[in-house]
Each structure stands twice: as structure tokens, then as C-alpha cells.
């Protein structure tokens, strides 16, 4: 699978690749992420994309510090976004309305992102910048991902101490 993915990526030469994020809570998403990362790392350094982003999918990324968020503005084409998620029957069948939930998550992200300013976007998705994992294959995925949690922990602790 990794070889097949690497061949596809080499043939397409994308500038940006969007993946599941390594903190997703869906096991299949993590497996897909890891195989895609292996494929990207298998490419010659000069053939790797300029940017690789791990996007919100099953687990949202609102817990990232604002400085750690890559902001993806989804405002321009809400009808297209709804059609894309609606194209996956499993996402809207059986009473689970992931299509509505995704739209709600994006609206909430846009609303809560800048608390003291007028919203510049009506729909935002968060992503982790995974480019360092692709540029430096020696980086450990687990340590890299837990670094985001370490920064969140430090921020929470500092805010609590500030007013203790």
C-alpha cells in the first residue's frame, strides 16, 4: 500500500497534501494517516509536497493552541462542502447527520476563534502542520503529536497560576 501511495503521489506532485491528523480517534483514520506519511517520507526529498496538513475529521482540533492551528477558511463554497460530505452515503444514512455536524463544527470554529473581533470567516477548519514529519523522517510521530498536548498543558497551567 505504501508503495502504491508513493507512486500516486510521485505522479501527481501535489503542493499540499491533506491527511487525517495523528490525534484522530478513529483507528482506521490513524492507520491511513500512518501509511500516507510513510509514502510521503518514501519520496525523494525534492519530490515531497511543500506542505502536509493533518485535518479535523473524527476528533476536532479546537484544543490546539491558536499558534499551533493552521486555519483553513471553508467559507467560500458552503454548498460544495455540503455536497462533498453528502456524497458519502455512510455519513448521512441511518440517522447520523455528519453533514450537519461538520457544518456546525466549522461555524463554531469561526465564531470562537477570535473572541474579541468580528468574524472574518463563516466556516473554519483546523489542521496541524505535519510538514516537519515529512521533511525529517527521523522525527517520531508520537513525540511530535504529544508536543501539541504538552504546549496545551503548559498554557492551561500558566493561566491557572496567573490567577491563583
Q: Which three cell numbers stand for residue 4?
A: 502504491
Q: What is the spatial distance between Cα 98 and Cα 117, in angstroms, rounded to a whole number? A: 29
The DSSP code for 45 is G
* 123: exposed, middle or buried (Cβ count in 10 Å: 0-12, 13-18, 19+): buried
Q: Which residues of the chain have a pLDDT value below 70?
A: 91-92
Q: What is the pLDDT of residue 86?
A: 76
Give me the pLDDT at residue 91, please: 65
Q: How many CB atoms lie within 10 A of CB 77?
A: 11
Whether the CB-CB separation of 49 and 14 falls below 8 Å is answered with: yes
Amino acid at each position: 500500500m505504501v508503495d502504491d501511495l508513493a507512486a500516486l503521489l510521485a505522479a501527481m506532485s501535489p503542493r499540499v497534501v491533506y491527511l487525517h491528523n495523528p490525534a484522530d480517534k478513529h483507528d482506521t483514520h490513524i492507520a491511513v494517516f500512518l501509511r500516507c506519511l510513510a509514502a510521503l517520507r518514501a519520496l525523494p526529498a525534492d519530490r515531497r509536497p511543500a506542505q502536509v496538513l493533518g485535518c479535523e475529521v473524527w476528533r476536532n482540533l479546537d484544543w490546539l493552541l491558536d499558534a499551533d492551528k493552521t486555519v483553513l477558511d471553508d467559507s467560500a463554497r458552503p454548498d460544495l462542502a455540503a455536497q462533498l460530505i453528502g456524497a458519502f452515503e455512510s455519513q448521512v444514512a441511518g440517522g447520523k447527520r455528519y453533514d450537519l455536524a461538520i457544518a456546525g463544527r466549522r461555524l463554531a470554529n469561526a465564531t470562537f476563534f477570535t473572541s474579541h473581533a468580528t468574524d472574518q470567516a463563516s466556516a473554519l477548519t483546523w489542521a496541524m502542520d505535519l510538514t516537519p514529519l515529512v521533511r525529517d523522517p527521523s522525527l517520531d510521530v508520537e513525540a511530535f503529536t504529544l508536543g501539541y498536548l504538552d504546549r496545551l498543558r503548559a498554557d492551561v497551567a500558566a493561566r491557572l497560576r496567573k490567577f491563583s
